[in-house]
Structure formats: C-alpha cells, structure tokens
Amino acid sequence: MNGIPLTHILFVSTALFFIGMYGFFTRRNMITILMSVELILNSVNINFVAFNTYLYPQNLDGIFFTIFIVTIAASEAAVAIAIIINLYRSLHSVDVDETGELKF
C-alpha cells in the first residue's frame, strides 16, 4: 500500500467524479442518472478514505463519514427507485424529459 502515492488514488476518484458528472448531464434515463449520482458519491468516499489513511492514520473520522455516506446513499437509492417505479407506472417511461407534468 505504501507503494501507491496519494495522487494516484486522487486521480482515480477525480476520474470517477467526472464520469459520474458526465453521466448525470448526458443521460435521459433516470436509472442511469441515479447510477451516475452513486458514482459521484463514491468518488467522494474514496477521497475521504484516502485522505484519512494517508494524512491522519491515527484518526478514523474519514472512515466513519464514508460509512455514513454509504448508508444514506443506500436509503436514498431506495427512495429514488421508489419514485422512478411510480413514475414508470404512471408514464410508462423512465425518461426525465417526459416528466414535465408538475411544471407550472
């Protein structure tokens, strides 16, 4: 583990973040958007863990945060999927552009 410098890990997390960002902007499928959001969250998780391990190995704060985020992301995913399923039931589509019903 000591062989891998911090910058490598940060590079991975940044790449993951922008992949998630790209997916979030370009996809119209709600499930894919949800997945992109998960990617963004996980890139942050990687950062937390990496900084914690490399900079303050005696503390556990970063790891705790990661666990929190994972938990909340799981519940959030459950809620989001529930919404998506309901939308699919009423609209027969999971395309975000079709869900303009509540505008205005």
- Asked whether position 101 contacts other proteins by CB under 8 A, the answer is no
Q: In the set 25, 79, 89, 101, which binds other proteins (CB under 8 A)?
A: 25
- Asked whether position 10 contacts other proteins by CB under 8 A, the answer is no
Stretch that binds other proteins, among 8-16, 57-65, 75-83, 96-104 (CB under 8 A): 96-104
56 alpha-carbon distance from chain centroid: 25
| Minimum distance from residue 72 beta carbon to other proteins (Å) | 20
DSSP 32-101: HHHHHHHHHHHHHHHHHHHHHHHH-TT--HHHHHHHHHHHHHHHHHHHHHHHHHHHHHHHS--BGGG--T
| Minimum distance from residue 52 beta carbon to other proteins (Å) | 23
Which residues here bind other proteins, judged by CB under 8 A?
A: 21, 24-25, 33, 96-97, 100, 103
